Chain A
Amino acid sequence: MNKLTTLSLAFGSAFILLASSCSKNNDVVAPETSKLTTKTVADLDGSTTTIYYSLSTGTQITGADTASTKWDIKFKGTSLFINGGTSGTGTTQAQIVSSTFETLTAAPTADYKTDANGTPAISGWYTYTNTTEPQHAILTVPGKIIVIKTSDGKYAKVEMISYYKGNPNTTTAEFANLATRPASRYYTFRFAYQGDGTTNFK
């Protein structure tokens, strides 16, 4: 993770250097302080248990800590919960923004919701194909970026990538065939966590 921070800092400063060198007006630019960490999590195994996950540390939370505010997002089958409201002891809130992961450069400042009975803050991230090919599949919906405001007021954006082990191509015959389809409840997703408390995702 440190590597990533350094990398993003390096890229950031390179960009600033480039931008300032091109600019005729050599205003002094404030140094980049973004604490953005980006991570892709592959095949988080939720096939037997509910997964509690911390976006600030980028790790799975287990044991007694699942009753604390240490986790931000919970994966249970096709349901996603956040640590707040009816789902946890924290004050986490979330909303879905229509965007690509990359082009969402700032978290919205308003319109967050927390989990309530029957109306979770996060919904619509997948479709169930029922009897259309590939039959009975859970497919992630494009352009549904989950923006989370964690219990300690930090912002993160999450894109759900796959519900199946190995992040398979869901357009193949192998996936369509229920006998050869990879196991479900293996979550692949990517997220960016802004540790500096701003809404900035750059």
Chain B
Amino acid sequence: MQFIFLRSFILLLFITPLIAHTQTRDTLKKDTVNTKQLKEVVVTGTRTPKSLQQVPIPITRITSEEIKKKGLVRLNEVLSEQTGMTILDDPHGQGIQIQGFDPAYTMILIDGLPLIGRSTGILELSRITTNNIDRIEIVKGPTSSLYGSEAMAGVVNIITSDPAKGASAGLTTRYGTNKTADLSLNSAYRNDKFYISGFANRYSSGGYTLQPSSGLPTVSPFEGYTLNAKSSYKIDAQTTIKLSVRYYTNDQDSKYLVDNRYAAGTGTEKDFNIAPVITHHFSDKLFSTLQLYRSTYKTNSDVRYTDDQSIYDQTYFNQTFNRAELQNDYSLRDNLKLTAGAGGQYESVEATRYEKLQSFTSGYGYFQADWLPVKKLDIIAGGRYDVHSVYKSQFSPKLAVSYALSSKFTLLGSAGKGYKAPDFRQLYLNFTNAEVGYSVFGYEEAAAGIARLQQQGQIESILIDPSTLQRLNAESSTAFNFGYRYKPNSKLYWTANLFRNNITNLIETAAIAIKTNGQSVFSYFNLNKVYTQGIETDLSYQLFKPLQIGGGFQYLEAYDQDVLNQIEAGKVFTKDPVTNLTKEIRRSDYGGLLGRSKYTYNIRINYLDEKTGINASVRAIYRGRYGYKDADGNGIVNRSDEYTKGYVLVNASLSKPFLKDAFRVQLTSQNLLNYKDSQVILNLPGRLIYAGVTYNFNKTN
């Protein structure tokens, strides 16, 4: 099936441009600053289109124009420059930290539908190209009341672009450091009733190493493809059907040194999504959407010793996600809109590290009322109830209010609950590390796993009897957000938000038994209680016509409540690095959770010369020091050698249009100051320079 899909796809890509021969302006030019932000509509915060200024929860909207001006092509590049967002360096991939939450707590959506395929909770953001999008919407704070599990820190929704009328096509390329190449082709046709669009992207890199003497890559060479097709047909004035299909595949080499032997191989990743939708206006007041969605995610890796080709590691991982959902939007009165939806999901996973195919079934219903009792006041109340085959049912309510003090100044506040269900790993993992010898069992596997090891005589002592294990519950949070949006004129836009998240039942591993080899057997428990709080603010200002400046800042605190209690009780200690004598830790010594920078900020400058169309953009992104390890053996971050240094990344881009904007040449640099920390920060390869060309054409009949 995939082959047919591919063939028709290529056909689509190459035929449509032939119809087109007149040129159109590059999308960049559309972004004349004065008309910008007048009618900005967002959909992610309420699952209905709503004006950005009015929506009562923290939401950021990044347009395709902004992304193109900066010369960025992958989602990780885009999000890393956003205020209040930090890309984490992790061996399992580049994920996003929002309001102090780990990447596992932010849902990644494409056109409102969740992406699956997370390695230990992290969804690799460079999997997602931003060349075919209209905008990205980011909601901060729990959004489980609409999206269910995972949307505890927030939601990143990538909204792909709908084609312009007529026939259009385009080509975007970028090539540079580390042989990193990004190539996109798109073409589309649209008339009043129908559109079809195709998009293909190739993203590859030669990888890099931060330890050249080791002969091993830090990031191995890879080659990935994204294919995306969308089509829509208006059956009549009331009814529209839509289909979108997305396919992503990536091959990455790998090379390791294991006990003085080299092992090398290839890993393949495949992600396939298909989403048919039908929408129908039953009346002026009632609008319904029936959506089906299937997503599969597969990985496969085969790593062998290079000397005798014997197997070092062979793994596979197959995950599926299926959903049917019906949403009804009903305008009861002009000032009261109701949204109600219900859906069912079936998910499964089959992998090397699982005993057998494991599956979840779940159902949910959600409801939302959007009420404007007076014009200035917008109240949104809603909730979602999730019923699940394996863990306890969840209710996630939310209340959000915005009040326009004036047409320029809006106050917003919200309170809500978020949750994250135990994932397949935490429930079903059955894994023994071949080199070190420890074992990890998911909650559902623990009893059987221990029994099996006991039978094999591998258990020295049981620490916690598996039959007494508490059923694993979802992690949950209660969150409060309070802030404002200030837009006195078309030149200035200023937002601020205070946030607090109280998180309970965090799932952690703990030892349940000791093996005869001295290693532990681990399982998962609802253990920790943590909180995050802080303030975030962002401002952009059109200083004079060609020059726009902006900046953002976040102050963040993220602490483990149990550690705080222990410090209070005088039970946490450190060693003085000079004398190596034990000292008691005070509250002010505690650096909080790993990987959280207290201070982050960014500064942005964009210069657009109207006459020549030359656009220059420079951004500086500062990430304050953060704890990355425990060196003194007390399990927490407190001593200065347990922190990284703070650092600044400077990214810049210069572009010039030709041939009435149809053709654009761009020079881009990331990490211009060449900042590196080869010991700790592995996702910073140093200075990257890219050159790119974009060509667009469009013919309106």
Contacts and interface: CB of A to CB of B under 8 A. Distances in A.
Interface string B575-617: 1011111111000000000000000000000000000000000
B632 A139 contact: yes
A143 B634 contact: yes
A167 B570 CA distance: 26
Contacts of A145: 582
Nearest to B680: A133
B582 A171 contact: no
A190 B580 CA distance: 11
A163 B305 CA distance: 38
B633 interface: yes
Given A161-B581, A167-B580, A142 B571 contact: no
Interface in A151-202: 159, 161-162, 167, 169-171, 188, 190
A100 B580 contact: no
Given A127-B633, A132-B629, A171-B641, A143 B573 contact: yes
Contacts of A171: 577, 631, 639-641
Interface string A66-108: 0000000000000000000000000000000011110100000
Contacts of A188: 580
Nearest to A133: B679
B631 A139 contact: yes
B94 interface: no
B308 to A, nearest CB: 26
Q: Which of B575, B580, B634, B641 has the most CB of A within 10 A?
A: B580
Contacts of B583: 100, 142
B580 A140 contact: yes
A123 B679 CA distance: 31
Nearest to B574: A142
A36 to B, nearest CB: 18
Contacts of A170: 577, 580, 631
A169 B633 CA distance: 15
Contact of B580 (A129, A143, A144, A162): A162
B582 A100 contact: yes
Interface string A120-137: 000000110100111000
A127 B574 CA distance: 13
A100 B632 contact: no
A124 to B, nearest CB: 9
A142 B578 contact: no
A146 to B, nearest CB: 12
25 contacts: A98-B571, A99-B573, A100-B573, A103-B570, A103-B584, A127-B633, A132-B629, A139-B631, A139-B633, A140-B580, A140-B633, A141-B632, A141-B633, A142-B573, A142-B575, A142-B634, A143-B571, A143-B573, A161-B579, A161-B580, A169-B577, A171-B577, A171-B639, A171-B641, A188-B580
The 8 closest A-B pairs by CB, nearest first: A143-B573, A142-B573, A141-B633, A171-B641, A127-B633, A142-B575, A171-B577, A142-B582
Interface of B: 570-575, 577-584, 629, 631-634, 639-641, 679
